[in-house]
């Protein structure tokens, strides 16, 4: 089925996003074209696997094996991401990958999880009519409302903001300038952290106004923190089939999900954030967050 002379080592640097390979041991071979996925997988010898590179960036790679399960591996893949998916599965009906194996150590991690059916919303969004866009956004806000109800574990009760496992957030707005990083214990800590980051990165335009421009919050709720079309899976009827990429998930101020969705990076050049703002069940003044982002990103 493969030419032994055409193989390359099974390494991240040898794989390209969107490509498929046949894996035999620790060697990759080009995948031949096929018309019927079921027949191709059935005819594949037991010692061979079909690998699809779903994504590859920042030292991490996401692979799909035999159209059945997915792995996310690389530098910076943390236990917090796996814990977030477990919490969502345990406490809500929100469709997320089921984690069945993890391995972490020395800044490197791997998460093995089930495959979510459908295709990324990013690939379909610009083809949708207004009614369909509104429907998808309302579905997403409905799932977000369920995520927000996830109870905080007792061991994390004293923290105001943290990742799903209690570790510090990696959001550029909240990363501490000190090492080791300090936990955020209240809303004042969080707003001070954002201002520290803003000022340290050269922010001067709102040097005196930013502390008062930043939104205030009395509570934190469980938050995905990276809701965007690339992380939303939909079927052929534009029904949301799953939410992916829980790397930044954790407890954040109640306005955070809204602020993250409306950030320019989430729009991917389309009108996604416009529709999400239009259909949002609640809006906040995020002018301070926006001003800080202009300096930090």
Both 175 and 291 in a single domain?
A: yes
Q: What is the pLDDT of residues 230-266, one digit of tens each?
A: 999 999 999 999 999 999 999 999 999 999 999 876 6
Both 183 and 63 in a single domain?
A: no
pTM for the full predicted model: 0.93
Instruction: Look up the domain containing 44 and give its range.
Output: 4-114
Question: Domain end: 69, 89, 114, which one?
Answer: 114
Q: How many domains are there within the chain?
A: 2
CA dihedral 6, 8, 10, 14 (to 10 degrees): -120
Both 222 and 264 in a single domain?
A: yes
Both 91 and 148 in a single domain?
A: no
Residues comprising the chain, all counted? 297
Q: Is the pLDDT of residue 28 over 70?
A: yes
Q: Which pLDDT score, from 0 to 100, does residue 268 have?
A: 66
Q: Which pLDDT score, from 0 to 100, does residue 287 have?
A: 96
- Distance (Å, rounded) from C-alpha 249 to C-alpha 85? 9
The residues pairing with 222 across neighbouring beta strands, listed in sequence order, are: 251
Q: Which CATH number covers residue 234?
A: 3.90.1200
Both 87 and 151 in a single domain?
A: no
Both 39 and 82 in a single domain?
A: yes
Q: Which pLDDT score, from 0 to 100, does residue 5 have?
A: 57
Between the alpha carbon of residue 73 and those of residues 10, 60, 140, 232, 246, the distances in Å are 13, 6, 27, 20, 14
Higher pLDDT, 34 or 135: 135
Both 163 and 281 in a single domain?
A: yes
Q: Which pLDDT score, from 0 to 100, does residue 142 have?
A: 98
The share of the chain scoring above pLDDT 70, in percent, equals: 97
Cβ atoms 53, 84 nearer than 8 A: no
Q: Is the pLDDT of residue 57 over 90?
A: no
Region of residue 18 (left: phi > 0; alpha: psi -120 to 50; beta: else): left
Question: Domain end: 54, 89, 114, which one?
Answer: 114
Average pLDDT, the chain: 93
Q: Which pLDDT score, from 0 to 100, does residue 1 have?
A: 44
Q: Mean of the pLDDT values across residues 33-38? A: 80
Both 124 and 31 in a single domain?
A: no
- Helix (H) / strand (E) containing 112: strand 108-114
Q: Which CATH number covers residue 103?
A: 3.30.200.20
CA dihedral 127, 133, 82, 65 (to 10 degrees): -30
Both 182 and 264 in a single domain?
A: yes
Q: Is the pLDDT of residue 2 over 50?
A: no
Both 97 and 127 in a single domain?
A: no
Both 90 and 196 in a single domain?
A: no
Cβ atoms 112, 66 nearer than 8 A: no
Q: Which pLDDT score, from 0 to 100, does residue 267 have?
A: 59
Peptide bond into 49 cis (omega under 30): no
Q: Which pLDDT score, from 0 to 100, does residue 36 have?
A: 82
Q: List the single range of 26-30, 56-60, 90-94, 157-161 with lowest mean pLDDT.
A: 56-60
Q: Pairing state of beta strands 99-105 and 108-114?
A: antiparallel
Both 94 and 130 in a single domain?
A: no
Q: Is the pLDDT of residue 202 over 90?
A: yes
Q: Which pLDDT score, from 0 to 100, does residue 148 have?
A: 98
Question: Domain end: 69, 90, 114, which one?
Answer: 114
């Amino acid at each position: 089925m493969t030419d032994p002379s055409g193989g390359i080592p099974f390494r991240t640097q040898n794989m390209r996003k969107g490509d498929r390979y046949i894996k035999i041991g620790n060697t990759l071979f080009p995948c031949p074209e096929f018309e019927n996925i079921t027949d191709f997988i059935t005819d594949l010898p037991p010692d061979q696997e079909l690998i699809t590179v779903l994504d590859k960036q920042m030292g991490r790679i996401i692979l799909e094996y035999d159209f059945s399960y997915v792995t996310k591996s690389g530098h910076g893949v943390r236990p917090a991401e796996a814990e977030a998916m477990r919490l969502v599965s345990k406490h809500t009906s929100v469709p997320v990958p089921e984690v069945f194996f993890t391995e972490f150590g020395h800044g490197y991690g791997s998460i093995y999880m089930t495959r979510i059916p459908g295709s990324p919303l990013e690939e379909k969004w610009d083809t949708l009519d207004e009614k369909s866009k509104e429907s998808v956004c309302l579905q997403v806000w409905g799932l977000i409302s369920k995520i927000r109800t996830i109870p905080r574990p007792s061991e994390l009760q004293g923290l105001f903001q943290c990742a799903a496992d209690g570790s510090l957030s990696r959001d550029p707005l909240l990363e501490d300038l000190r090492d080791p990083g300090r936990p955020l214990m209240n809303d004042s800590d969080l707003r001070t952290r954002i201002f520290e980051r803003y000022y340290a990165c050269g922010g001067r335009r709102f040097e005196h106004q930013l502390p008062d421009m930043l939104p205030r919050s009395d509570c934190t709720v469980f938050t995905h923190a990276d809701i965007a079309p690339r992380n939303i899976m939909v079927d052929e009827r534009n029904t949301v089939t799953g939410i992916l990429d829980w790397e930044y998930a954790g407890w954040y101020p109640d306005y955070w999900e809204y602020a993250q969705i409306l950030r320019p990076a989430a729009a991917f050049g389309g009108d996604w954030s416009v529709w999400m703002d239009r259909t949002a069940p609640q809006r906040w003044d995020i002018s301070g967050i926006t001003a800080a982002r202009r300096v930090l990103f």
